[in-house]
Structure 1
């Protein structure tokens, strides 16, 4: 099986390519320097030449705050780029996975969002990711949309690395304690995506690690597992203003994974432990 993976230089794309290669698939990972997804002709010619059996579209404009002011670039990557890839996938008959986000929801309430719940993004990044979802659904007959949240992996920057960096110079930190969700370890997610493209259980899925926490609880667990003596003070969203609105409730139900025979991802605490072990091995 030949699989084209966009966003190879990011956290998820990197792990997806590694996972597929370990299973003996021919993995072709591309970053923005290899393929500009916003260029329709480039995408069309590249996909036609590679002729993949599947495309896993991990590339995205993910600078949530910057997106509020850099709207054109965000739209071009997340919507038009997705349209170009989905159209090219249809042309060559490739299966297609689009990686989406908890930001397509408004973050209201406390119940985990279902795959069938109506998206209602409150920020521009979330709006473009939802538009990308719609493009995939309109362009292709058979597709996977996989929504993830609070992503962390070895290859790139993330919340864990930020907390560890801050712990080098601080023994007390204020961290938002009223936004809840699930961390997603790209190493755990990658096998699921490779499993998906080998079957035909198409549709929308939520795929983050099991369990829920706040950012403050996440930070406390990071310091606990990393043996760092840092006090975490939970603060409100209002006490930490950002350019883009963050959803307070990013909990997502993963029932559909189980219904369709996919294995849920490990608990987020276990994922964190595995990640820190790998991270400290590399230091």
Structure 2
């Protein structure tokens, strides 16, 4: 894997390859599996993603503390009413992100891509696109591989862990990966995918991780919903020709530095942010007492 944005773009142009090709080749070499075996696994992951993104659109969820119950259904119902500010499909995308978090919190099977706390973003983004357009299984697989490639750069220069880098590292990384995948699905270039990923991370730089009671529920679910919209708008900006002044690998390094400079209270310890509010502490106390 090539981790510098400029070098990666030049390599792909010179060799007529995509980032999906590179990720696939690397996985074949490291795992010893065939292309067919890898793609079969990716298709299975996509099926799990789709199920989680749709699970609670029509029925109310029941989670451990009830902090996020029914958000997906409420958002989906609101979208179906047609009188939204963002437009029906964008609100449905947020509903799908809610659904995955609710499914996870009710012990359903999800794909933690890249983490459980950010698992609603990529499924909502790519399946929202698929439901609006004609997309083959092969294209969905390549979109996921594109996301994995972008994630590889994040893993190289920073972290996916909220405990190390705050929510910018979780929902930020997932949104960047989703945005790059959307650009691929829309027929954009690798360069545009990387600009989209850069813009996405820039929009969320510095976001803290402050889960109430230490549970991956609240405010995580809102950040998954907003993360999908961030991915969509960043993909649109990149596709319009707008470029990030700072290359993606440098944006990721900046994210890593920001994460290291955060107080430990804002890195998944539940000692700061919303978790440290009067309401947050009360919920935590009730949860652990029970």
TM-score, normalization: structure 1? 0.27
Q: Which has the higher helix share?
A: 2
Q: Which has the higher strand share?
A: 1
TM-score, normalization: structure 2? 0.26
